[in-house]
Chain A
């Protein structure tokens, strides 16, 4: 059962910033990760908690000049239902639909997925592949952190203890293709064994701006630059798919754990990439 540390319930961002500046406090939004983590079985119980559920500045999905902007408190259900997300970022809608089931999707938030920084976080490969930027803020001001620079080590992020995640900005370059695939034990309520996002631009000379991002195969969500280099400037032919899959299998170093084995993850990651390239090539 979770502990019951004291919790502050601010209505405004500046009040939340004050609490964060005053000393260690653990933010909670949808609670789908935090409520499980504060039982005392998984490390020390936080001294204080900070409820974000009343702060409306953290909500909303909008289309702006620099891309699709999602407030940190945007839930997976809101992503699934959002006309803007469906039109501009269908891969994220797909990912949101694979997370937990209705109960989790109604509560869990994209900001929470980022802050929790699980290597298996299902939206995170999409954010990496789409060159997303995370806007964070605190009393010292706001700053933008590239998703690529955000996940620094196992469950460690670039977020300072006195900062909150405010928004995720996903650039929407014209013509970019973005695909998502998750492999878990079952379709719902499953933590990923391998999760992947693939992005590219189609040009007359082949693919460019290729991004291969994966979860559950390293201590953090990662990009696979050697594999990207194989696909960069290439066309999605059977030979290219074979070579990319082979490169990926050699490039990643997954581990054995309760959910899967290193061997399985390596094999499946390569097959998933092969399939995505094959689908893109239409063969």
Chain B
């Protein structure tokens, strides 16, 4: 067991774990951040997506030893500024408004993939949004409302 140190949602974390423990398990079980979901556990579905140094990754495929000294963002920290205000992130608001969540299992990962897309300067283009969330499977919505919600946030205000 080794102590691994990194930042989660802006706060320092230290976890004693085997270096091969999955980031997903560290988040959910060791740190109690159960917003991140496990779907397939093999990098196919994107339900466990988090941001690692700003890049969207499947946390089921990341051993914790590779997270040492790095910055992790989960759905709980989607918008730190909004959380301090006690409100939701603009993406979460848009998902609510557009009815972009049904069973909810894909939603946290979908939000993180969308956040990475928007933070990289992504716009409201339908094809680009669909590519950005191509690694996130949703079996309920048919994706249209999810794409609409992301496009709404990506559209510059008049």
Give residues in A with beta carbon < 8 Å to B.
1-7, 9, 28, 30-32, 35-36, 49, 51, 53, 77, 100-104, 106-107, 187-189
Contact = CB atoms under 8 A, between A and B. Distances in A.
B44 interface: yes
Interface stretch (B14-22, B75-83, B95-103, B144-152): B14-22
A24 B44 CA distance: 29
A103 B113 CA distance: 8
Contact of A6 (B19, B44, B61, B66): B19
Given A1-B41, A28-B63, A9 B134 contact: no
A54 to B, nearest CB: 8
Given A35-B61, A101-B134, A107-B62, A7 B46 contact: no
Contact of B134 (A28, A30, A49, A102): A102
A32 B22 contact: no
Interface of B: 18-22, 25, 41-44, 46, 49, 52, 55-58, 60-63, 65-66, 68, 113, 116-117, 131-137
Contacts of A7: 18-20, 63, 65
A93 to B, nearest CB: 14
B25, B52, B60, B133, most chain A CB atoms within 10 A: B60
A107 B63 contact: no
Given A103-B61, A103-B113, 10 more contacts: A3-B20, A4-B19, A6-B19, A31-B61, A31-B62, A36-B43, A77-B55, A101-B136, A103-B58, A104-B43
B55 A31 contact: no
A104 B65 contact: no
A96 B62 CA distance: 20
B135 A100 contact: yes
Contacts of B43: 32, 35-36, 100, 103-104
B19 A51 contact: yes
B22 to A, nearest CB: 7
A104 B135 contact: yes
A2, A28, A49, A187, most chain B CB atoms within 10 A: A2
A35 B19 contact: no
Contacts of A35: 22, 42-43, 60-63
Nearest to B117: A102
B63 A51 contact: yes
Given A31-B61, A77-B55, A102-B56, A49 B20 contact: yes
